[in-house]
Homo-oligomer: A and B are copies of this chain.
């Protein structure tokens, strides 16, 4: 069993804000991340597929195909965008790293034949989140 990972970088703006909360509650909960005009990051996304290596090709899957999928499904959608205003499939979710990575999972997993194993999203070099999918215990 191998775990093969591909890294993607994108630059985006976002703001942590839940409209169901009062302004005071939002500020208390999200701190500076709740600033009204938003802030931004150079995000880094590590996408990991897991499986045996094919005996003939020596690969878990075609890494170039993975790269193309990530470009089409993620990079073209979020790079140089505002995650809260510009990305339909993030709409209605507070754009915490947890929620963003889970939405990205939903988008990629159906295209990866059950191989998707883990996604790690870095907001900055100071914090990141790992997600193993809705079925991981």
Contacts and interface: CB of A to CB of B under 8 A. Distances in A.
Please tell me how many copies of the chain the complex holds: 6
A58 B99 contact: yes
Interface in A14-39: 14, 16, 18, 20-21, 29, 31-33, 35, 37-39
Contact of A96 (B13, B59, B137): B59
Closest 8 CB pairs of A and B: A40-B40, A37-B82, A32-B80, A13-B13, A58-B96, A58-B94, A13-B40, A3-B130
5 contacts: A1-B136, A5-B129, A18-B57, A38-B40, A38-B82
Interface of A: 1-7, 9, 11-14, 16, 18, 20-21, 29, 31-33, 35, 37-42, 48, 53, 56-60, 62-64, 79-82, 84-86, 93-99, 101-102, 123-132, 136-137
